[in-house]
């Protein structure tokens, strides 16, 4: 029996979770059993304090709430002085054109719905630029539908094969022994990096970008520049949860994120996690359902935390996510979720908030462009509608066994069958006359010509089968397939499913016979009539645009374009083109610009209290040392295997040098980490220890300047809040007690509230004073660490292609003249004004790369438009300059 002990940090929750049991099943799901004390504890936690700000059962960390939950609890923010301006066209309605990155990991069935979504986002009236980042094998599939493609790496066929052998979260011993797990972890790391490139790089991730080496001729150089792939930096991300990198990239770029999926990922009491088989004999079923999501999420996070944190630290230059709450980020951050299944089949649960929606199925119409081969058409015309049998992207170790089961079942039933070969290469030479072997045929063309469908239970295949009114037999292999099988059986549109590992010809024949019964045919047709009135893609697109995070994205001067810059010390937001135009005409000093973050995702805010800060510092140092030594020993072992070969001694010296440098780096960073962790610990302690809602959410630290700024802010506000809390906390505690009792005559709740407030005030005096004392050294230390990382890593993040492109654009900007307005501008002065913008080097290496991409994006837009539509470009430039003058911006932003 495998026990899953949930780690909840400190408090009673951690003790209760040790009673939770999980046993892996043969089909990859988990048997779960919850102790009755857990139910009582969560019931108490849910109702004892209305200030806990939770949906349904509370967060599973008890007092150890995530930074996102802490942010919801906090009423105060650090203030910054800004000059407020009003957009010139403040009546503009709608969402500006965006660069949308859609990140998908999975099979063809996972990718196909998002192609339908991407086409809708790309079409009018939205006209977004949509890029689908997925596996290289789907490049043709994406591009033939007119969408931009970027390869994130990974091999879905190997993934499917691995998942069939390891259908659940826990891998088998044989897979671990064979090295499958390490290979899978390595592939996930590569896909994380690929997802980051998909959101920030030009091209398609496969073909190299090769600018011309000749930069002497300005005209020729500009032509070469415009032939290069257009720069791409995502303004919003849509992703399925298994792509994993989404929330971390959204945090880095400061952009909206919207998750969409075909299986439930958000905790609900309506049904359990698709991979959980709940034993509700000891607890209430709804509570067990809700808690099952946290258990499975934690188990997944436990296996991937090191890979994800390595990606955050080394690629994105973000702090690692604390292990106590990494698994509950989506719930705490209230990341918008859209589930693409029919509400007629599975209605939205009542305990899902407004940020979670059920849209309907995403269907990609392919029937109109398909012409069947003559032999397929002849088979269809030769008799009654056949039964479709196919398992899509599933790859089994023994395709001969699966083929044998299918053909034996067909012989028993004596029905006509269309058998899809799929990735599993089903079929063979000995195929009966009543069986036709299929290649790749669009389901929306084929299924209307079938009497029933038999498949693996993939979300896309299940959706199209039910939508077309076909009774469905599912043979689940892994993942969400058993869940889909259960939902369809519950709806009466198919029999109870039998997993692949338990399948026999007799069981398959019996299930097909049940599916062909008049009752199941009638129920499937009834569901089809309801689903035909739904438009899942249109509903999802509308939901995506209606979320609060999608508001206030417009440029002040060109509201149909997304703002990517903000002028420092103002609220003025500018698109890349508007900023480039203003800089070229000498109307704006580029040093006044900074990258705009539309959405702040508070993923990690540091240690919860000083003790955790101390433990985290020395733990990080210890594990860093051990990791370096382990890596050195591993490298040395490989070198010993190659002993006697030329260069082996040099390799040992290089490995020793690498280890020494890394050990020195960990030692050097330890004092910085200690000060930073202690400052965070004192700052966060009042909120985590006694739920002080007046703890402020500090600003991010990206370098020395921002570290000093945050330190000074924390010093001033920390002392202010420590002193005033002695008065405000007891007052608010007394007021809350009176309101809670709803009876001012009964003073007991008021007295308790007053006592709690006094305790919070005294505790705040200690911790907030300590936070103020450590703020400047702690946050300045973090700022210096970030600054050194920026200096060491920045140059590596800028590709040679980017340098070549920017050099030519800068050269061209001082030589070309296209508009009447431009004639009034001194070209040399405009070029001189633009020069510093190209050379800005603030932020981490990743941030600097994004900054340079945004710069080139603006200039390219101008030059490209002038080439295609000179008159309209002249008009747009004049509008930008006129609207800029109407803002009446101070002259200090020009020089």
**CATH number of the structural domain spanning residue 162:** 3.40.50.2000
Same domain, residue pair 343 and 411: no
Same domain, residue pair 421 and 355: no
Rg (CA), the chain: 30
Residue 66 has pLDDT above 80, yes or no: no
For residues 619-638, give the mean pLDDT: 78
Same domain, residue pair 128 and 258: yes
**For residue 736, what pLDDT is reported?**
81
**Strand order through the sheet with 236-239:** 148-151, 129-134, 99-103, 236-239, 257-261, 337-339, 356-358
CA atoms of 61 and 329, how far apart (whole Å): 12
| Bridge-based pairing state of the strands 30-33 and 21-24 | antiparallel
Whether 65 contacts 688, CB under 8 Å: yes
Report percent pLDDT > 90 for the chain.
37
Same domain, residue pair 293 and 338: yes
Same domain, residue pair 394 and 318: no
CA atoms of 787 and 704, how far apart (whole Å): 6
CA atoms of 68 and 623, how far apart (whole Å): 27
CA atoms of 720 and 703, how far apart (whole Å): 26
Residue in the block written with tokens 């299924």: 447
Helix/strand/coil for 472: strand
Residue 841 has pLDDT above 50, yes or no: no
For residues 557-564, give the mean pLDDT: 94
**For residue 431, what pLDDT is reported?**
79
CA atoms of 357 and 801, how far apart (whole Å): 42
Comparing C-alpha atoms, which of 260, 225, 252, 263 is closest to residue 346? Answer: 263
Query: Which whole-number Å values give the CA distances from 555 to 512, 572, 575, in the listed order?
Result: 58, 8, 5
Query: Which whole-number Å values give the CA distances from 800 to 206, 796, 829, 835, in the listed order?
Result: 17, 10, 27, 18
3-state class percentages of the chain: helix first, strand second, coil last, to nearest 5: 55, 10, 35
First to last CA, the chain: 71
Residue 592 has pLDDT above 90, yes or no: no
Q: Which two tokens stand for residue 674?
A: 């200690």
**For residue 59, what pLDDT is reported?**
35
List the beta strands (DSSP E) in 96-167.
99-103, 129-134, 148-151
Whether 357 contacts 348, CB under 8 Å: yes
pLDDT digits (tens, 9 = 90+) for 668-727: 888 888 999 999 999 989 988 888 888 888 888 878 888 999 999 999 999 999 999 999
CA atoms of 541 and 535, how far apart (whole Å): 10
**For residue 357, what pLDDT is reported?**
97
Taking residue 642's Cβ as centre, other Cβ atoms within 10 Å add up to 11
pLDDT digits (tens, 9 = 90+) for 239-263: 999 999 999 999 999 999 999 998 8
CA atoms of 852 and 233, how far apart (whole Å): 10
CA atoms of 893 and 895, how far apart (whole Å): 6
CA atoms of 129 and 457, how far apart (whole Å): 32
Answer whether residue 264 is part of any domain.
Answer: yes
Query: Which whole-number Å values give the CA distances from 636 to 182, 628, 649, 651, in the listed order?
Result: 20, 12, 10, 8
pLDDT digits (tens, 9 = 90+) for 861-879: 888 888 788 888 889 999 9
**Strand order through the sheet with 21-24:** 21-24, 30-33, 276-279
**For residue 47, what pLDDT is reported?**
41
Same domain, residue pair 343 and 455: no
Contacts of residue 237, Cβ cutoff 8 Å, sequence gap at least 6: 100, 101, 102, 103, 199, 246, 249, 250, 255, 256, 257, 258
Answer whether residue 593 is part of any domain.
Answer: no
Answer whether residue 326 is part of any domain.
Answer: yes
Among candidate residues 522, 543, 564, the one where a domain is terminated: 543
**HSE (CB half, 13 Å, CA atoms) of 535?**
6
CA atoms of 30 and 52, how far apart (whole Å): 30
**For residue 358, what pLDDT is reported?**
97
Name the least confident of 222-226, 262-266, 706-710, 792-796.
792-796
Residue 144 has pLDDT above 80, yes or no: yes
**For residue 469, what pLDDT is reported?**
95
| Bridge-based pairing state of the strands 30-33 and 276-279 | parallel
Among candidate residues 770, 797, 824, the one where a domain is terminated: 797
Number of domains present in the structure of the chain: 3
CA atoms of 671 and 778, how far apart (whole Å): 9
Q: Which two tokens stand for residue 144?
A: 């033939």
Same domain, residue pair 774 and 693: yes
Answer whether residue 271 is part of any domain.
Answer: yes
CA atoms of 342 and 487, how far apart (whole Å): 11
**For residue 439, what pLDDT is reported?**
83
Answer whether residue 891 is part of any domain.
Answer: no
Same domain, residue pair 420 and 287: no
Same domain, residue pair 132 and 278: yes
Answer whether residue 41 is part of any domain.
Answer: no
CA atoms of 469 and 493, how far apart (whole Å): 9
Comparing C-alpha atoms, which of 782, 844, 788, 847 is closest to residue 604? Answer: 782
Name the least confident of 151-155, 392-396, 565-569, 627-631.
392-396
Answer whether residue 628 is part of any domain.
Answer: yes
Query: Which whole-number Å values give the CA distances from 772 to 78, 604, 608, 682, in the listed order?
Result: 14, 20, 16, 9
Among candidate residues 797, 825, 854, the one where a domain is terminated: 797
Comparing C-alpha atoms, which of 151, 142, 143, 155 is closest to residue 114? Answer: 142
Residue 362 has pLDDT above 60, yes or no: yes
For residues 509-525, give the mean pLDDT: 95
Comparing C-alpha atoms, which of 302, 278, 280 is closest to residue 292? Answer: 278
pLDDT digits (tens, 9 = 90+) for 75-92: 455 555 567 888 877 777
| Cis peptide upstream of residue 53 (ω within 30 degrees of 0) | no
Q: Which two tokens stand for residue 455?
A: 């498949």
Helix/strand/coil for 29: coil
Beta-bridge partners for 357: 338
Answer whether residue 838 is part of any domain.
Answer: no
CA atoms of 768 and 752, how far apart (whole Å): 23
Helices and strands in the chain, H and E counts: 29, 18
For residues 622-639, give the mean pLDDT: 76
Name the least confident of 279-283, 392-396, 884-888.
279-283
Same domain, residue pair 312 and 409: no
Q: What is the DSSP letter of 66?
A: -
Whether 222 contacts 73, CB under 8 Å: no
What dihedral angle (degrees, nearest 10) is formed by the CA atoms of 616, 296, 345, 236?
Answer: 30
How buried is 79 (Cβ within 10 angstroms: 0-12 exposed, 13-18 middle, 19+ buried)? exposed
pTM: 0.81
Interior angle at CA 765, CA 764 and CA 767, nearest 5: 60
Comparing C-alpha atoms, which of 347, 362, 352, 425 is closest to residue 393? Answer: 425
Same domain, residue pair 424 and 279: no
pLDDT band at 640 (very low <50, low <70, confident <90, very high): low
Range of the domain at 507: 378-533
pLDDT band at 71 (very low <50, low <70, confident <90, very high): very low
For residues 363-389, give the mean pLDDT: 90
Residue in the block written with tokens 């509400």: 343
List the beta strands (DSSP E) in 355-401.
356-358, 387-389
| Alpha helices (runs of H) in 691-826, residue ranges in sequence order | 704-741, 748-797, 800-813
Same domain, residue pair 143 and 201: yes
């Amino acid at each position: 029996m495998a026990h899953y002990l949930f780690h909840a940090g400190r408090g009673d929750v951690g003790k209760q979770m040790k009673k939770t049991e999980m046993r892996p099943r043969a089909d990859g799901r988990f048997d779960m059993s919850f102790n009755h004390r857990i139910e009582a504890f969560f019931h108490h936690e849910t109702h004892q304090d209305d200030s806990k700000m939770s949906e349904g059962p509370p967060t599973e960390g008890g007092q150890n709430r995530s930074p996102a939950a802490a942010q919801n609890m906090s009423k105060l923010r650090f203030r910054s002085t800004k000059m407020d301006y009003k957009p010139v066209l403040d009546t503009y309605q709608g969402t500006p054109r965006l660069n949308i990155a859609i990140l998908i990991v999975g099979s063809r069935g996972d990718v196909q719905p998002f192609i339908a979504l991407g086409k809708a986002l790309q079409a009018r009236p939205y006209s977004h630029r949509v890029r689908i980042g997925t596996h290289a094998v789907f490049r043709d599939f994406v591009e033939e539908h007119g969408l931009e493609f970027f390869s994130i790496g990974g091999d879905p066929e190997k993934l499917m094969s691995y998942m069939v052998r390891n259908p659940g979260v826990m891998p088998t011993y044989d897979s671990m022994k064979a090295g499958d797990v390490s290979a899978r972890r390595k592939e996930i790391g590569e896909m994380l990096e690929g997802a980051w490139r998909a959101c920030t790089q030009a091209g398609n991730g496969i073909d190299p970008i090769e600018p011309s080496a000749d930069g002497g001729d300005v005209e020729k150089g500009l032509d070469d520049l415009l032939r290069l792939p257009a720069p791409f930096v995502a303004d919003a991300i849509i992703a399925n949860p298994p792509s994993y990198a989404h929330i971390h990239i959204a945090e880095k770029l400061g952009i909206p994120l919207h998750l969409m999926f075909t299986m439930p990922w958000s905790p609900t009491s309506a049904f359990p996690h698709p991979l959980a088989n709940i034993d509700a004999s000891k607890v209430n079923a709804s509570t067990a359902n809700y808690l099952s999501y946290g258990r499975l999420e934690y188990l997944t996070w436990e296996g991937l935390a090191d890979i994800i944190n390595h990606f955050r630290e080394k690629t994105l230059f973000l702090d690692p996510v604390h292990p106590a709450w990494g698994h509950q980020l989506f719930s705490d951050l209230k990341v918008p979720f859209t589930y693409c299944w029919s509400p007629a089949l599975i209605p939205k649960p009542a305990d899902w908030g407004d940020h979670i929606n059920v849209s309907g199925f995403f269907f990609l119409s392919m029937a109109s462009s398909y012409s069947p081969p003559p032999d397929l058409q002849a088979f269809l015309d030769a008799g009654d509608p056949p039964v479709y049998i196919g398992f899509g992207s599933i790859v089994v170790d023994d395709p001969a066994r699966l083929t044998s089961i299918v053909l034996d079942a067909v012989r028993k039933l004596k029905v006509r069958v269309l058998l899809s070969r799929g990735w599993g290469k089903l079929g063979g030479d000995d195929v009966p006359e009543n069986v036709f072997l299929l290649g790749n045929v669009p389901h929306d063309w084929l299924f209307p010509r079938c009497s029933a469908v038999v498949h693996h239970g993939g979300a896309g295949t299940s959706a199209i089968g039910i939508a077309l009114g076909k009774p469905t037999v599912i043979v689940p292999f892994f993942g969400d397939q058993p869940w889909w099988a259960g939902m369809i059986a519950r709806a009466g549109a198919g029999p109870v499913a039998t997993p692949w590992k338990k399948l026999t010809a007799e069981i398959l024949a019996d299930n097909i016979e049940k599916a062909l019964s008049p009752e199941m045919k009638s129920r499937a047709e009834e569901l089809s009539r309801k689903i035909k009135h739904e438009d899942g893609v249109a509903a999802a697109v509308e939901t995506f645009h209606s979320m609060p995070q999608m508001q206030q994205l417009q440029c002040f001067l060109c509201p149909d374009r997304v703002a990517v810059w903000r002028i420092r010390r103002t609220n003025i937001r500018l698109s890349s083109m508007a900023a480039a135009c203003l800089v070229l005409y000498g109307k704006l000093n580029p040093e006044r610009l900074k990258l705009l973050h539309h959405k702040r995702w508070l993923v990690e805010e540091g240690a919860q209290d000083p003790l955790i800060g101390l433990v985290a510092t020395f733990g990080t140092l210890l594990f860093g040392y051990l990791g370096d030594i382990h890596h050195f020993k591993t490298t040395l072992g490989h070198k010993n295997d190659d002993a006697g070969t030329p260069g082996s001694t040099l390799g040992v010296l290089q490995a020793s040098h690498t280890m020494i440098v890394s050990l020195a780096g960990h030692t050097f960073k330890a004092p910085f980490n200690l000060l930073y962790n202690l400052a965070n610990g004192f700052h966060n302690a009042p909120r985590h220890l006694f739920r002080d809602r007046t703890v402020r959410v500090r600003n991010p630290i990206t370098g020395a300047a921002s570290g000093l700024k945050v330190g000074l802010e924390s010093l001033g506000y920390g002392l202010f809040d420590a002193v005033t809390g002695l008065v405000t906390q007891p007052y608010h505690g007394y007021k809350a007690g009176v309101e809670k009792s709803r009876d001012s005559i009964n003073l007991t709740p008021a007295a308790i509230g007053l006592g709690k407030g006094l305790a919070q005030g005294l505790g705040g005096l200690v911790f907030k004073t300590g936070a103020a004392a450590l703020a400047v050294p702690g946050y300045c230390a973090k700022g210096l660490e970030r600054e050194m990382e920026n200096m060491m890593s920045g140059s590596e993040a800028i590709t040679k292609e980017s340098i070549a492109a920017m050099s030519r654009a800068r050269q061209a900007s001082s030589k070309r003249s296209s508009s009447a307005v431009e004639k009034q501008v001194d070209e040399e002065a405009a070029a001189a004004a633009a020069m510093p913008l190209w050379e800005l080097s603030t932020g981490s290496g990743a941030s600097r790369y994004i900054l340079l991409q945004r710069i080139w994006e603006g200039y390219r837009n101008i030059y490209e438009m002038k080439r295609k539509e000179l008159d309209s470009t002249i008009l747009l430039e004049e509008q930008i300059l006129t609207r800029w003058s109407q803002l009446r911006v101070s002259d200090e932003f020009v020089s």
